[in-house]
């Protein structure tokens, strides 16, 4: 099968442009929220929280918060849980907390019993807000699973990280360094 050189080059250039646009968009789509106060949690009922009573951002003042947007049908989210659990263990006893935000992609992911099964399966011990109506997802301007938002001790969004994360990878190292810097600030 012969491939037309011009067609192949055209396809390759198109792919490069699309990939670069997506990277730029992913890096900047939610930059408007960085350095601004994080929006208040949108779910306040006990049945909308797992592993915790309903929380407010005021409850978390003085702590560095890592928000983890995930859904139980997302393999990239699953693959990030070992890193997330290890990070929590490492920072146990410090002014740091992970808050999971379960925002479903599909209707079947809204079933609370299924969410609870996955929380147990992956040994997620941190508070998890069930965001089945996407209200917090929208308030944060989120677009991807998993996404990680660092919130400083004063409640301002400091950084956003997108994508599957593993212990020791570049993203995990960046997140850990930024958490340490935020923990040192008063």
Q: For residue 159, with 0-12 CB atoms within 10 Å meaning exposed, 13-18 middle and 19 or more buried, which class applies?
A: middle
Q: Is 118 within 8 Å of 104 (Cβ atoms)? A: no
Give the architecture (CATH level 2) of 35-184. 3-Layer(aba) Sandwich (3.40)
What pairing do the DSSP bridges indicate for beta strands 96-102 and 64-70?
A: parallel
- Residue by residue, pLDDT tens for the chain (186 residues) are 566 777 767 666 665 655 555 554 444 445 678 999 999 999 999 999 999 999 999 999 999 999 999 999 999 999 999 999 999 999 999 999 999 999 999 999 999 999 999 999 999 999 999 999 999 999 999 999 999 999 999 999 999 999 999 999 999 999 999 999 999 997
Q: How far is CA 119 from the centre of its chain?
A: 15
HSE (CB half, 13 Å, CA atoms) of 105? 12
Question: What is the spatial distance between Cα 83 and Cα 85, in angstroms, rounded to a whole number?
Answer: 6
Which are the contacts of 35, defined by CB distance < 8 A and separation ≥ 6? 156, 157, 158
Residue in 130, 138, 66, 136 with CA at minimum distance from that of residue 95: 66
Q: Which residues on adjacent β-strands are paired with residue 67?
A: 99, 149
Q: What is the pLDDT, as a whole number, of residue 5?
A: 78
Cα 4 vs. chain centroid, distance in angstroms? 43
Query: Model-level pTM?
Result: 0.85
């Amino acid at each position: 099968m012969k491939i037309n050189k011009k067609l192949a080059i055209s396809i390759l250039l198109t792919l490069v442009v699309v990939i670069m646009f997506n990277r730029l968009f992913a890096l900047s789509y939610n930059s408007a929220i960085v350095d601004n106060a994080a929006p208040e949690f949108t779910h306040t009922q006990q049945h909308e929280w797992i592993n915790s009573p309903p929380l407010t951002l005021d409850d978390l003042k003085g702590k560095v918060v890592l928000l983890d947007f995930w859904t139980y049908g997302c393999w990239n989210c699953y693959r990030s849980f070992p890193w997330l659990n290890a990070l929590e263990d490492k920072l146990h006893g410090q002014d740091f907390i992970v808050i999971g935000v379960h925002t479903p992609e599909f209707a079947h992911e809204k079933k609370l019993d299924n969410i609870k099964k996955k929380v147990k399966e992956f040994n997620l011990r941190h508070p998890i807000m069930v965001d089945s109506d996407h209200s917090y997802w929208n308030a944060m301007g989120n677009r991807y699973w998993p996404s990680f938002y660092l919130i400083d001790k004063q409640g301002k969004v400091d950084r956003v990280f997108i994508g599957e994360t593993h212990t020791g990878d570049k993203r995990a190292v960046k997140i850990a360094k930024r958490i340490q810097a935020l923990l040192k600030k008063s």
